[in-house]
A and B are shown apart, each in its own frame.
Chain A
């Protein structure tokens, strides 16, 4: 049981290049998320997918696109990378929203992708 797996772990891009960050979870979770974490700031939500087939914008979606490929996989794409997108990116998943089963609300995070855009 690997949990949440992100690839790659590190990436260096030049301004204007594109790339896709991959995320997969093996916990049969409904919801998946992409966050970015910058020094001195809390985790900020980029996009999320409440369930297979749906995606929604978070707090900082500009410059990104996502695809919920199936229940397991949720990818994040940078079409034209900019230096402002230099950050650590985390994928997370959780069972879903539940008032009665609080454990379902716990998010599980991947190890992160460290991206530098030069």
Chain B
């Protein structure tokens, strides 16, 4: 069964600290992996998207890594800011011939405290 598991479920860190969020997936055939940020009361916004051949991609203070062999991805946030408080969703896509083939994780809720 295609699944995306994220950990931890929630995380509290102090402003200025770094953190890493994890995503493990069992999706086949794998096409690409995305990380989204969802602020409270808003829709998800794309942070990064990586294909099978990419193992790291950065977007400002956000760096995503992908290990296609172990089927793991991580999202590293550097020098956290209060505005980083949000849910972070890992989404894996497979090309099964259907446009509706995105598998969503349940998200990690990050709280950055002053």
Contacts and interface: CB of A to CB of B under 8 A. Distances in A.
Contacts, number: 58
A48 B102 CA distance: 11
A101 B23 CA distance: 24
A110 B43 contact: yes
Contacts of B98: 56
A50 B99 contact: yes
A4 B46 CA distance: 14
A109 B104 CA distance: 14
B4 A42 contact: yes
B36 to A, nearest CB: 8
Contacts of B105: 42
Interface in B26-73: 31-32, 34, 41-46, 49, 51
Contacts of A99: 31, 95
Contact of B104 (A43, A50, A112): A43
Interface in A15-33: 31, 33
Nearest to A43: B104
Contacts of A4: 43
B100 A109 contact: no
A102 to B, nearest CB: 6
A106 B41 contact: no
Given A4-B43, A112-B43, A45 B102 contact: yes
Nearest to A110: B43
Given A42-B107, A102-B51, A110-B43, A56 B100 contact: yes
Highest count of chain A CB atoms <10 Å: which of B31, B43, B105? B43
7 contacts: A56-B98, A58-B100, A59-B100, A102-B32, A106-B46, A109-B44, A112-B41
Interface of A: 4, 31, 33, 40-45, 48, 50, 56, 58-59, 90, 92, 97, 99, 102-103, 105-112
